[in-house]
Amino acid sequence: MKPTAVIIAGLFTVYTGLGVLNPLLAPLVRELGLSETQGGLIITVAALMFAVGSPFWGIRSERWGRKPVLLISLFGFSLGFGAFAIAAQLGLQNGIAPGAVFMALLLARALAGFLMSGAPVAAQAFVADTTSGQERTAGIALLGAANGLGFVAGPALGAALAGFGLLAPLYTAAAIPLIAAVLVALWLPRVTPQPRDGSQPQLRPTDARIWPWLLVGFTIIVALVGVQITVGFLFQDRLQLTPQGAAQALGVALVTVGITNLVAHLGIIRPFKVPPLLLLRVGVPLAILGFAILIVAATLPLLILSFVIAGLGLGLALPGYTAAATLEVTSQEQGAVAGLTVAAQGFGAMVGPLLATSLYQLRPESPYLLTCALLALVAAAVWLHPRLRRVAALAAPSRTAD
């Protein structure tokens, strides 16, 4: 089994687990007697630990290698998600009070968020180690394909198993990364990390080469995760569904998003090696259109249409962002930049849920209006900011790895 395939399998199981939770969280929060804001806090604390953990694992991947970090992340995700499922089960069975359930869910998601953050970092650094120029964008698209596959399989699995109760998908999500861990242990070779020049300064978030890209990633994820965390409430409220019905309907919508992401990654980016800047300039406006439809959508087909358009746009934009940042730094800085780009997304995932759930309680359309405004700023930046425009030259086919 090829090393790239092993890494993709590992990421796939993690993203599948995350995808399982997305259609379940809103109905589960309400069944547990928690508020929308508490649901947002559960996601926020996971995102905070994910953001804190990403630079940590980026440095460790340079010292220990990509394989050990990936193994730790896969086992850690299973541990954290299993604890989350047990805490939810105790809450549904009235074994512990809602306040204690909330704290237990926070701690479980914090553990999972910190430990799992090494998986995308190790995977991104591995691709950067082995590619350069436009080939790197195609390689990053494979990582995006793992994300897309996971967000097809995860919501589909969550919707299918929701008929057996809201907890069955969670226990399944905790188990499947263990399969990938076995594959990584057996088939991924242990590569000795490149020796690092001790005189070279550590890559910092304020580095002029990458801070604009970190801001782009942060802003996109604030918008995206804000939608993800509130759309379950939107489905239940607009379509007047039961908790199980809302989980199943949202699962169908998220499956379409995952399929659309796969089309973007495998049908557009990888075969045509689209430059990172072009991906952003096309993808972000498409995402704005999709989320604008979401503001007014009142039927399931229209809601799904908005997801398809937004999913295609973000499926193009996010690999563009990731590839662009890796092109700005040297080969010895790939683990560090992977940690920082994933951390920027983690901080965005921390801010997005709190902001969006608070706005949703004021007016259901508000989070999606904010999403469109934030993405409009990103669209303007990728056309006008000189540092962001510079990456077009770095992605030229003649460029080689530093």
DSSP string, 55-82: HHHHHHHHHH-HHHHHHHHHHHHHHHHH
CB 193 within 8 A of CB 204: no
Mean pLDDT for the stretch of residues 215-241: 91
- 229 has a pLDDT exceeding 90: no
- 136 has a pLDDT exceeding 80: yes
Model confidence, pTM: 0.81
Least confident segment among 227-241, 362-376, 381-395 = 381-395
DSSP letter, residue 94: T
DSSP codes, 183-206: HHHHHS--PPPPPPPTTSPPP-TT
Counting residues of the chain whose pLDDT is more than 70, the rounded percentage is: 95
Residue 212 has a pLDDT of 95
What would you report as the CA-atom Rg of the chain, rounded to the nearest whole angstrom? 20
Mean pLDDT for the stretch of residues 48-62: 93
Residue 74 has a pLDDT of 97
Domains of the chain as residue ranges with CATH = 3-189+205-394 (1.20.1250.20)
- 1 has a pLDDT exceeding 70: yes
More confident: 139 or 294: 294
- The pLDDT tens digits of the residues spanning 172-218 come to 999 999 999 999 999 987 766 565 555 455 789 999 999 999 999 99
Residue 349 has a pLDDT of 82
- Distance in angstroms (rounded) separating the CA atoms of residues 194 and 189: 15
φ/ψ bin of 239: left (φ > 0), alpha (ψ from -120 to 50), beta (otherwise): alpha
- 104 has a pLDDT exceeding 60: yes
- The pLDDT tens digits of the residues spanning 334-368 come to 889 999 999 999 898 888 888 998 899 899 999 99
- 398 has a pLDDT exceeding 50: no
More confident: 145 or 181: 181
Least confident segment among 107-116, 187-196, 228-237, 321-330 = 187-196
Residue 132 has a pLDDT of 75
- Distance in angstroms (rounded) separating the CA atoms of residues 250 and 23: 5
Confidence of residue 40 (pLDDT cuts 50, 70, 90): confident
- Distance in angstroms (rounded) separating the CA atoms of residues 89 and 98: 12
- The pLDDT tens digits of the residues spanning 252-300 come to 887 888 789 889 988 999 888 888 999 999 999 999 999 999 999 999 9
